[in-house]
Amino acid sequence: MTEIKLADASYYADDDPHLTDAAYDKLRRRNLEIEARFPHLKRSDSPSDRVGAVVSDGFGKIEHGVPMLSLDNAFSDEDVQDFADRIRRFLGLDAQDELVITAEPKIDGLSLSLTYEKGELVKAATRGDGRVGEDVTANARTLADVPKTLKGAGWPDRIEIRGEVYISDADFAALNAAEEAAGRKLYMNPRNAAAGGLRQKDPAVTAQRPLKFYAYAWGDMSAPFAQTQYEAVQKLAEWGFQTNDLFHPHQSVEGLITAYRDMIERRANLGYDIDGVVYKVDRLDWQQRLGFVSRAPRWAIAHKFPAEKAITTLEAIDIQVGRTGSLTPVARLKPVTVGGVVVSNATLHNEEEIERLDVREGDQVEIQRAGDVIPQVLRVLDPERPDRAPAFVMPHTCPECGSAAVREIDDKGKEDVRRRCTGGLICPAQIIERLKHFVSRKALDIDGLGAKQIELFYERGLISAPQHIFQLPQRIAEAGFDPLEKWDGFGDVSAQKLLAAIDERRQAPFARLLNGLGIRHVGQTTSDLFSRTFVQWATFWDHVERARDNPEGEAAQALVSIDGIGGAAVGALTAFASEPHNQEMMQDLLSEITVLDGEAPASESPVSGKTVVFTGTLEAMTRDEAKARATSLGAKVSGSVSGRTDILVAGPGAGSKLKKAQDLGVNVMTEAEWIELISGL
């Protein structure tokens, strides 16, 4: 039990879990089993009564002025060429037009956003979920590399400066040596040490950590201050920030690839960890035009370094059941360090993969880890050895609930590679995974209600469906448990905070709620699209129900005609809405919460909410750019003309769509008229 406590403390407070999730769960389960069999042995401070140390007493929240994006990845030279080609196509550049792209190291630390007003540091926030981060202002002030007052001149009145907090290799080694001498446990890698250092409760502790900061980007600002990325970074340096010396502009893809190879050569001697090279379009007006797709800019990409490999023993193959019931075989490995990180699990994907690898328990295996991707098993090294374990047989029943686990056949008669548990909501694994997803950062994002708390409330029979979360205090009372503040590990403050965080989400944003439902093919991007398109939940759900009742009808048509929405998403939504238990769940849930309207982007725009179709040749911009711009102004872009079309933008060569639009009385305009309409928006 002491072990569980230690694991809790390191998981919740130290940014340094020392047990794997699986090992932790096992410990906790064993403790519960012992307590169930020998209740008199249960201690008053048993961890089974306790939900991690967090229930966030930590940091305040700061909403970023401009979201902190992530980067798409390139893994090969070809991916880099594709990146440049995509940009050229989007901007409509000719082969002879110069496209300058910068290259710089991708620092393996954690990103930080610093807000300056009139040159004074006023706020510092971690990335968080990209939209809202943690307020680490007091801690960030202790970093020597973070100017408290900007130097020089020419900075906008208000600006968010972004960059990476990291620890050098030498400082990391010294830090760990000191930890060791003091009998404390070591940090796993510099990134964890940096994250732990920045997220200290006491800024005096942060001050003693050797944290450094490289500035490489910016967010919201009151006025533009440069024309190119290169010029902007030079300004950051003039204002007193550390910027990276290995940041250079390149005129060609070959130049980028050379910079990448050069970086691999230098990597070991840089003195700090990097995990790739970031390329960015140099011209800021082009960055603006390129914009972003879902969470990543179109104008930047991270070229990742090749995966690192290691050899270890595969000790067992376990089956994990996911949110949608998929059974994933997981290799439990003898822990081994790969590229600075201890790896003890690797995914085996599915039964075909196991067969292909012919991997068995007890085998020596080569594994690889690339960035944040789940480690993979590459091959078996000793397939010829005698007395090998028998071949692994994928179970045909769910290990969690005993229901049949089947490989579905799709409409084209193709068998799914994944085996899925058919238990649905009688399967505890699926229920728990769905609940975890429902409260996760990208869904309802309920502070203090994480995986461990969900498991605990589930084990105690308090939460088994989303609506139960909002009935928690009543359900605790009805089940005869002490009120939450009496539970060990909660206390008045944290119990109140958790319940307040739950109450706060009674106002649930459309897209977060939809994503949280965990419907197959309806993830974050799709949910965002629906939310922007329909704005009101009731209108959207009405369409789903009508599409369910009449798959050929107008509502179904309206759903599939949304640009970016596929038939799979619509099919999954209507299937979801057909299940009586989902109908009941939705009714109960909606009686607990109010769904906030989605944001129709730029609602003052004359095209927001309008359905626009482009046809013929566009001359001022490419089709991709036209579509992206229209979507960002809140228009729905459709590929075909129907009674629902509001505007047809017809360039030279327009044919049948133009004719149809004219027949239907749709507002038809030229590209120039369209540009006039949206100019200045």
Name residue 166's amino acid. Y
- SS3 call for 135: strand
Pairwise CA distance, residues 273 & 105, whole Å: 9
Of 302 and 354, nearer to ligand IVH (C-beta) is 302
Which position among 10, 70, 294, 557 is part of the footprint of ligand IVH (CB under 6 A)? Answer: 70
Least separation, in Å, of the C-beta of 198 and ligand IVH? Answer: 12
Active site residue 235: no
Helices assigned H by DSSP within 339-450: 351-357, 428-439
Q: Interface with ligand IVH includes 104 (CB under 6 A)?
A: yes
Q: Which two tokens stand for residue 567?
A: 């038939």
| Residue among 113 and 615 whose Cβ is closer to ligand IVH | 113
What are the phi and psi torsion angles at 149 (to 5°)? -130, 135
Residues 421-440 that bind ligand IVH (CB under 6 A): none
Kind and range of the H or E element at 169?
Answer: helix 169-181
**Contact flag: residue 111 with ligand IVH (CB under 6 A):** yes
Structure tokens given for 558: 């309206």
- Smallest gap from residue 304 Cβ to ligand IVH (A): 10
Write the burial class of residue 388 (CB in 10 Å: 0-12 exposed, 13-18 middle, 19+ buried).
middle
Residue 365 one-letter amino acid: V
Give the tokens for residue 642.
Answer: 């129907």
Q: Strands 308-321, 364-369: parallel, antiparallel or unpaired by DSSP?
A: antiparallel
Q: How far is the CB of 502 from ligand IVH (least distance, A)?
A: 29
Tokens of 590: 């909606």
Decide if 608 contacts 634 (C-beta within 8 A).
yes
The rounded distance, in Å, linking the Cα atoms of 131 and 212 is 24
Among 107, 301, 321, 589, binds ligand IVH (CB under 6 A): 107
Under rule CB under 6 A, residue 303 binds ligand IVH? no
Q: Return the closest-CA partner of residue 259 out of 435, 104, 145.
A: 104
Minimum distance of ligand IVH from residue 130's CB (angstroms): 8
Q: Which residue has the tokens 């796993």?
A: 188
Q: Judged by CB under 6 A, which stretch of 64-72, 463-471, 472-480, 507-515 contacts ligand IVH? A: 64-72
Between 110 and 569, name the residue whose CB sits nearer to ligand IVH.
110
With contacts defined by CB under 6 A, name the span among 9-17, 66-74, 456-464, 659-667 that binds ligand IVH: 66-74
Taken in order 488, 494, 496, 500, the sign of the CA dihedral is: negative
Near ligand IVH by CB under 6 A: residue from 124, 217, 263, 621: 217
> Which residue, 25 or 220, is less far from ligand IVH as judged by CB?
220
Indicate the residue type of 329.
Answer: P
Q: How far is the CB of 282 from ligand IVH (least distance, A)?
A: 13
According to DSSP, the β-strands at 667-669 and 647-650 are parallel
Decide if 53 contacts 12 (C-beta within 8 A): yes
87 binds ligand IVH (CB under 6 A): no
- Contact between residue 637 and residue 629 where contact means Cβ atoms under 8 Å apart: no
| Contact with ligand IVH (CB under 6 A) among 28, 106, 303, 497 | 106
- Closest by CA to 440, choosing from 425, 426, 457, 453, is 453
**How many residues touch ligand IVH (CB under 6 A)?**
15
If one asks whether residue 297 binds ligand IVH (CB under 6 A), the answer comes out as yes
How far apart CA 681 and CA 679 sit, in angstroms, is 5
Tokens 């973070």 belong to residue? 146
Residue from 278, 377, 421, 444 in contact with ligand IVH (CB under 6 A): 278
Asked if 71 is part of the footprint of ligand IVH (rule: CB under 6 A), the reply reads: yes
For ligand IVH, the closer of residues 304 and 505 by Cβ is: 304
Residue 302 in contact with ligand IVH, rule: CB under 6 A: yes
Containing 262, the helix (H) or strand (E) segment is helix 253-266
**Interaction with ligand IVH in 248-267: which residues (CB under 6 A)?**
none
Q: Which stretch binds ligand IVH (CB under 6 A): 16-24, 103-111, 605-613, 640-648?
A: 103-111
Catalytic residue among 5, 106, 334, 442: 106
Residue 216 within binding range of ligand IVH, rule CB under 6 A: yes
CB closer to ligand IVH, 47 vs 297: 297
Is 161 a binding residue for ligand IVH by CB under 6 A? The answer is no
- For tokens 């045909």, the residue is 396
Candidate ranges 100-108, 178-186, 333-341, 561-569; the one touching ligand IVH (CB under 6 A): 100-108
- Site membership for ligand IVH, residue 300 (CB under 6 A): yes
Contact stretch for ligand IVH (CB under 6 A) within 63-71, 491-499, 520-528, 664-672: 63-71
| Minimum CB distance to ligand IVH, residue 111 (Å) | 3
Q: Would you say 297 or 329 has its CB closer to ligand IVH? A: 297
How buried is 218 (Cβ within 10 angstroms: 0-12 exposed, 13-18 middle, 19+ buried)?
buried
CA distances from 158 to 119, 132, 144, 394 (A): 8, 18, 21, 58
Closest Cα partner for 193 from 205, 93, 181?
Answer: 205
69 near ligand IVH, judged by CB under 6 A: yes
Quick check: 164 binds ligand IVH (CB under 6 A)? yes
Residue showing the smallest CB distance to ligand IVH in the complex: 111
Q: Which residues participate in catalysis according to the annotation? A: 106
Name the residues that contact ligand IVH, by CB under 6 A. Answer: 69-71, 104, 106-107, 111, 127, 164, 216-217, 278, 297, 300, 302
